Amino acid sequence: MLRRAFLTVRSRLTADDLRETEAVLADRALELPELAQAHTVAAYVSVGSEPGTRALLDALHARGVRVLLPVLLTDNDLDWGAYEGEGSLAPVQHRGKMALLEPVGEPLGPDAVLSADAVLLPGLAVDARGMRLGRGGGSYDRVLARLDGAGAHPALVVLLYDSEVVDRVPEEPHDRPVHAVVTPSGVRHFR
């Protein structure tokens, strides 16, 4: 029910709201030391009314940062591909899901995320402890487990709307807090 409530609020946003928020989020995120100093960032292409990532992806790419984007596998795990600008994406329709924009180049393998200095995680909310509420598919739980298993410790960052920073979200034993949340009104670090 909590996920549905956040998605309902997002569904009321206009195209103008989404465009304005995307630009502000990119500016704020680019000020983060975790992204300013990164050589490789694992990110994602926002869909629907998610906080927009395209402006941020383009800005990171223009800076010479290696940007990795997910390719959804049939078991909901993620492979990765390199983002080389807008022309390097194509819509992919996944069974029972909405179409996602994914990189068209050679897949780099699920372990490519281990090279990331920062990982941008999609989410629906984050709480005062930095615990993230995802969409419930488990893809990014696998990514976080892969990072933990390899002893990799990239900065974990989530982009959200202001109303999605809340007091508390439910957590599972495998959940891991993020290091920072970027919203239109600012950046908050955890830990």
Q: Give the span between the Cα atoms of 48 and 50, in whole angstroms.
A: 6
Domains, the chain: 2-189 (3.40.50.10420)
Angle at which helices 54-62 and 15-30 cross, to 10°: 30
Q: What residues are designated binding site for substrate? A: 45, 50
> Dihedral angle at the C-alpha atoms of 16, 58, 188, 165, nearest 10 degrees?
40
Q: What residues are designated binding site for ATP? A: 132-140
Q: Give the span between the Cα atoms of 54 and 56, in whole angstroms.
A: 5
Q: What residues are designated binding site? A: 45, 50, 132-140
List the pLDDT tens digit at each of the 191 positions of the chain.
889 999 999 999 999 999 999 999 999 999 999 999 999 999 999 999 999 999 999 999 999 999 999 999 999 999 999 999 989 999 999 887 778 999 998 999 999 999 999 999 999 999 999 999 998 788 999 999 999 999 999 999 999 999 999 999 999 888 899 999 999 999 999 97
Nearest alpha carbon to residue 44 among 113, 111, 93 = 113
| Confidence (pLDDT) at 191 | 75
